[in-house]
Structure 1
Amino acid sequence: MDRPVVPLGKPRAERADAKRNRLRLLAVAREMLAEGGPESVTMDALAERAGLGKGTVFRRFGTRAGIFKALIEEEAHRFQEAVLSGPPPLGPGAGPAERLIAYGRVRTGFLIDNLDVFRAGMERGLGAPTVEVDMTLVHLRMLLRRADLGMRDPDSLAVQLAAALEGPLLLYMSSSPDAGPPAAEAGLRLADAWQDLVERLFRVDLK
């Protein structure tokens, strides 16, 4: 089995005008992020630039943090599609070791690329936003079972490996200029460490 079963739930019905407004708002929010960073994205500014009422923005996102959560969810859906049906080694067609390495490296890059969005999406007192379409544990469990490495408990191993790919770790490592290396460098080091871990687990060298 090359495609994990990911419990995404039944898609919520959406009117055509609501969908059009959502896509418009997300596209404009991405433009604002690219031009001025997360600080430039406010409810008022987004409504004005998108040419929509502020009430529409509030109904869609609820809070300013909700804008960034929606952007993260959209990017997560794209990442998931690449895993499920994209080219190997991230997508189907490669062996378990190659796919594990690719998944960890690409996911780390996804989290690093969206660090500012994750931070901006943090609700006060609640920490980093969760990604509802996160498929990490299901995917790692499937690959470890396919690999048949003779582990006593591959499901528990999948839980431990999934914890190494969690966003809060990356947020902590780049939370301030004095906390460690720049985000891009920290992400590369984590991706390399992930590959080392998988290669040793499989007792192979894929470099």
Structure 2
Amino acid sequence: MTQRKERADALRNREAVLAAADDLFASSQSPRSVSMDDVAAAAGVGKGTLFRRFGDRTGLIQALYEARIQPLRDAVDSGPPPLGPSTPPHDRVRALLDAVLRFKLDNRHLALALEEAGSGSPYHAEHYTWWHRTLRDTLRQIPSVPSGDFAAHALLAATRADLVEHLSGQEHFTADLMRSELASYVSKVLADDNDSDD
């Protein structure tokens, strides 16, 4: 009985920490300004609890990012069109990249914090390898794309959080303009003029 209570308390603490971190990253001027001390204070837990649960700041950011992106991943893995696997490949590539960009726009500081976390190459991160594999496998179904593996990297580069932040903050791109520019770029990569699906 005591063990069950501890598990429930631990779950509540985890949810409180993730909610506090989410609020702090969403309202911060820069993701670098959010510290473990800030998160612990906002969540009402000891700093040691954060380190025991998440390991370090990078682990906390990764856990929060995964919690945020899981519904989107579920839709990509097994959902209906336009994201799900039954979608025609040209349409799915467009939808996947638009979904990545919208997620980055909606979670700008969290996504930027993850890219800046300094936990090794961002291209080895689990969330990146998953997106790359999904996009690559879809691109390989399109004969006009010469290298699905490289094309997946190149297209995902257009959705990097640091680029989204630069375009939004420095070049004053609106979300709609970014989405429109990305869609136009994707169409050219997919050689849509010769696309019998359109």
TM value normalised by structure 2: 0.71
Q: Secondary structure at the match of 1:165?
A: helix
Q: Secondary structure at the match of 1:182?
A: coil
- Go from structure 1 to structure 2 and tell me whether the alpha carbon gap of 1:173 and 1:29 turns closer, same or farther (over 3 Å shift): closer
Which AA in structure 2 matches 1:132?
A: E
Q: Are 1:21 and 2:52 counterparts?
A: no
Residue ranges of structure 2 left out of the alignment (5+ in a row)? 1-6
Q: Are 1:42 and 2:35 counterparts?
A: yes
Q: Are 1:165 and 2:156 counterparts?
A: yes
Q: Are 1:108 and 2:101 counterparts?
A: yes
Q: 2:83 maps to which residue?
A: 90
CA apart distance, 1:177: 7.4
Which protein has the bigger helix share? 2
CA apart distance, 1:50: 1.6
Q: 2:3 maps to which residue?
A: none
Equivalent residues, number: 187
Residue ranges of structure 1 left out of the alignment (5+ in a row)? 1-14
- The 8 Å contact of residues 135 and 152 in structure 2, kept in 1 or not, is answered as yes
Q: Are 1:72 and 2:39 counterparts?
A: no
Percent identity between matched residues is: 33
- Go from structure 1 to structure 2 and tell me whether the alpha carbon gap of 1:33 and 1:145 turns closer, same or farther (over 3 Å shift): closer
Q: 1:8 maps to which residue?
A: none
- Go from structure 1 to structure 2 and tell me whether the alpha carbon gap of 1:40 and 1:125 turns closer, same or farther (over 3 Å shift): closer
Distance (whole Å) between structure 1 residues aligned to residue 52 and residue 193 of structure 2: 48
